[in-house]
C-alpha cells in the first residue's frame, strides 16, 4: 500500500477529505491523518492565493514526514467584498478559526448589500506533493449566494450562510453526501484523483 498523508489540523475538514476520497475508491492507497505521524511545526499561511497556501502546506508536510502529502486551502470569495475573505476566510474576524464570528462579520458587512449583489463562491485549492516527485495543484469552485441569517448545522466555516446555485438550502442544511457531490472541496479532490491513482500504482 502507498501511504498518503492528509495534512490538515481541522478535524471537520479532515473528515470531508476522507469521505470524498473514500467514495472515489483509489485502490492501493492508505490514507493517514496528522494523528498518525510525528508532530511537526507548520509555517503560517502567508500566501496571496489559495494555490500558494495549499502547495506550501503540502510541501511542509512532505518534507517533515517523507510521505506523499495532500493539503487544501479553501475559503469564501464574496463578490461585494471584491473576492474577500478569500485566503483570510479562517481569520476574517481577527482570530483564527472562530467560524461564528467570521460569518457574523460577513453578514454585518453586507447589511446594506441587496439580494442582487450577494453572490459568492466557495473555492478550494488542493495540492499533492510527492517527496522527490511531482507536485500537483488543482482548484474547485462552488457558486452561490449569501443569506441574511445563518441556517443549518452541518459542515463548518461559512456553510450556514451559503446557498449553492440551484439550491434553496444552505450548504449547512445539505447532508454530507449531497454537499460532497457539489462542493468546492469535492470538485478539487476529484480533480486530484488521477494523480493519486498514479501515485498508488507507482
Footprint of a copy of itself (CB under 8 A): 44-46, 48, 80-84, 86, 88, 91-95, 104-105, 108-109, 111-114, 117
The closest of 68, 28, 62, 186 to 122, measured between CA atoms, is 186
What is the C-alpha separation between 118 and 22, in angstroms, rounded? 34
Nearer to a copy of itself, 147 or 154 (CB): 147
- Listed in order, strand segments (DSSP E) in 61-180 are 68-78, 119-129, 135-146, 162-164
Q: How far is the CB of 90 from a copy of itself (least distance, A)?
A: 11
Select which of 73, 104, 112, 175 is catalytic.
73
CB 51, CB 125: distance < 8 Å = yes
Nearer to a copy of itself, 99 or 173 (CB): 99
Nearer to a copy of itself, 46 or 168 (CB): 46
46: Cβ contacts below 8 Å, ≥ 6 apart: 53
**Residue bearing cell 454585518:** 108
Q: How far is the CB of 72 from a copy of itself (least distance, A)?
A: 18
Q: Please state, as a whole number, how many other Cβ atoms lie within 10 Å of the Cβ of residue 188.
A: 27
Q: Is 36 marked active-site?
A: no
Q: Is 157 annotated as a binding residue?
A: yes
Q: How far is the CB of 85 from a copy of itself (least distance, A)?
A: 8
Q: Is 184 annotated as a binding residue?
A: yes
Q: Is 149 annotated as a binding residue?
A: no
Q: Is 12 annotated as a binding residue?
A: yes
The closest of 191, 126, 122 to 156, measured between CA atoms, is 122
Nearer to a copy of itself, 35 or 108 (CB): 108
Residues making up the annotated binding site for substrate are: 8-13, 74, 156-159, 179, 184-185
Which residues are identified as catalytic? 73
Amino acid at each position: 500500500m502507498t501511504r498518503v498523508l492528509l495534512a490538515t489540523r481541522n478535524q471537520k475538514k479532515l473528515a470531508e477529505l476522507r469521505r470524498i476520497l473514500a467514495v472515489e475508491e483509489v485502490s492501493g492507497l492508505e490514507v493517514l491523518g496528522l494523528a498518525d505521524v510525528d508532530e511537526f511545526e507548520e509555517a503560517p499561511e502567508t500566501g496571496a492565493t489559495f494555490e500558494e497556501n495549499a502547495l506550501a502546506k503540502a510541501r511542509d508536510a512532505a518534507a517533515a514526514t517523507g510521505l506523499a502529502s495532500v493539503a487544501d486551502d479553501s475559503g469564501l470569495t464574496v463578490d461585494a467584498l471584491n473576492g474577500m475573505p478569500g485566503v483570510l476566510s479562517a481569520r476574517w474576524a481577527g482570530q483564527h478559526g472562530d467560524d461564528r464570528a467570521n460569518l457574523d462579520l460577513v453578514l454585518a458587512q453586507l447589511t446594506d448589500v441587496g439580494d442582487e449583489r450577494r453572490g459568492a463562491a466557495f473555492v478550494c485549492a488542493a495540492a499533492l506533493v510527492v517527496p522527490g516527485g511531482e507536485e500537483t495543484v488543482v482548484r474547485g469552485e462552488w457558486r452561490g449566494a449569501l443569506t441574511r441569517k445563518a441556517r443549518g448545522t452541518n459542515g463548518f466555516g461559512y456553510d450556514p450562510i451559503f446557498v449553492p446555485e440551484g439550491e434553496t438550502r444552505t450548504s449547512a442544511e445539505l447532508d454530507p453526501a449531497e454537499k460532497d457531490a457539489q462542493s468546492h472541496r469535492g470538485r478539487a479532490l476529484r480533480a486530484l484523483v488521477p494523480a493519486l491513482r498514479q501515485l498508488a500504482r507507482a
